[in-house]
Amino acid sequence: MSDTPGNDPNAGPVALQSIATASLGPVFVGWMVQLIFYGFGLSLLVRYVTGPQYKADSRRIKLWLWAVVFAATGQAAYVAIGSPSRITFGSIFHYGTSQRRDVDTLYAQTLADCFATVPAGIVGALVQSFLGLRAVSLFDNSLYRSLFITMASLLIVGGLIGSWLFVAASFMLRNNVTPPPGLSFTLANGLWLWCCCIIDVLLTVTLSLLLYKRIAGFNSGTDSMLHSVIILSIETASYTATFAMIAAILSDSFSDDSLLINSTGAFYQPLSSFYLISFLVTLASRQGLREKTDGYSNNDISSPGVYSTRYPNNSAGISSKPPPFVTSASRVRVPTPQLVRMQTLGDPRSDEDEEMDLKHSCSRKEVRIEM
C-alpha cells in the first residue's frame, strides 16, 4: 500500500482516530454552526441596511452596528477565509487538508488558533454594552442603577479579560513556555464564558422586571408593547446564554491535558454569529414596535371614551377643551398624560430621538425604552 503512486513515503506518525476525533471533531462542528448562522446574520444585515429604519438611525447606532458586524466578520474570516498562520489559510482549510496528523501537531496552536476567542469576545462586549445602556435608562432608583452599572461593567470587562487570557495561554503553548501558576485554558475559557452567560441573563432579567413593573393596565396598547419588548429580550438572549453556559460547564469539567478539552469549541465558536443576529433582531424590531405604539396612540386619541376619561371637565381643574396638537411633516406631539414621542423613520434623527417615552398619569414613573 505504501508503494502506491501518490503516497508520501516520508509521512510521519499518525495519531489514533480517537485522538483526532476528540481534537478536531468539536471545533469543526462549532466552525460549521458559526458559518451557517453568520450567513443568516448577513441576510438580516442586508435586509436591515436597505430598509427605512437604518436610514433613520443616528450615527451612534450605525457605528455600533458596523463595529459588531466587523468583529463578527473577523471571527468568520478566521474560520473560513484565513488569517496569518503557518500556511496563511483559515482553520477549516488548514485542518481539513493538512496531512500532518501526529499528536503534537493536533494539539499545537497555529497563529490563527491563538486569537480564536478575541473577535467573539469583542462582539459579545459590544452587544452587551448596547443592551446594558437600554436597561440603565429604565431605572428610577439611582442606587439600583449604580449597582447594575457596576455589576454589568465588571462582567463585560471580565469576559474581555478571559478572551485575552486565552490568547496568552495559546502563545505560551505555541512557544513551549510554562505558564504561570493558575493560568490555563480552563481558567481563560471559564472566565470569558461564565461572564458572557451571567451578563446575558442579568440583562434579560433586569429588562424584563423593569418593563413588567410598568405594566399598569392604563392602556392596552402600551401594555401590549411592553409585553412584546419583554418577550423579545428573552428570545434574543436565550441562544447566547445557553451556548455560553454549556461551553463554560465543559471548560470547567476538563483540564488542559484532557482529551476532551476541545469540546468547548463546539459551543463557543458560534457565539459571535448569535450575538450578531441578536443585535440585528433588536435593531430591526424597533420599527415594528414604533408602528404598533403609534397605531395604539392614534386609536386612543380618536376614541371619545378614552378622551373623556383622560380629560375630565373643569370640576377637576382641567380645561375641557381638547389638547392642542402640534403637527409637522416629521412628528406629532400630543401633550397628554400619556406622551408618545415619535418621529418618522425618513427624517434625520439625533441620539435623543432614538428613545420612546411613555408617561403614565397614574404614576410618575417614566417608561423610557431606548430603541
Asked if residue 94 is part of any domain, the answer here is yes
- pTM confidence score: 0.74
Higher pLDDT, 123 or 354: 123
Q: Is the pLDDT of residue 371 over 60?
A: no
Helix locations, the chain, DSSP H: 17-49, 52-56, 59-76, 91-97, 103-107, 111-114, 118-136, 142-174, 185-212, 220-253, 265-268, 271-302, 304-310
Structure confidence at residue 292 as a pLDDT band (50, 70, 90) = low
Task: Evaluate whether residue 366 is within a structural domain.
Answer: no
Mean pLDDT to the nearest integer, 282-292: 75
Contact (Cβ atoms closer than 8 angstroms) between residue 358 and residue 222:
yes
Q: Compute the CA torsion angle 318, 319, 322, 327 (nearest 10 deg).
A: -90
Maximum CA extent, the chain? 105
Domain annotation covers residue 173: yes
Residue 164 has pLDDT above 90, yes or no: yes
Residue 371 lies in a domain: no
- The confidence score (pLDDT) of residue 290 equals 66
Best-predicted range by mean pLDDT (4-18, 63-77, 87-101, 321-335): 63-77
The enclosing domain of 32 has a CATH number of 1.20.1070
Q: Is the pLDDT of residue 344 over 50?
A: no
Please report the pLDDT score of residue 129 as a whole number.
Answer: 95
Over range 40-46, report the average pLDDT. 94
More confident residue, 322 or 232: 232
* Angstrom distance (rounded) from CA 76 to CA 54: 24
Query: Which of 8-12, 120-124, 209-213 shows the lowest mean pLDDT across its residues?
Result: 8-12
Range of the domain at 36: 17-294
Domain membership of residue 154 (yes or no) is yes
pLDDT exceeds cutoff 90 at 329: no
In a domain, 313, yes or no: no
Domain count, the chain: 1
**Averaged over 154-174, what is the pLDDT?**
93
Domain for residue 204, yes or no? yes
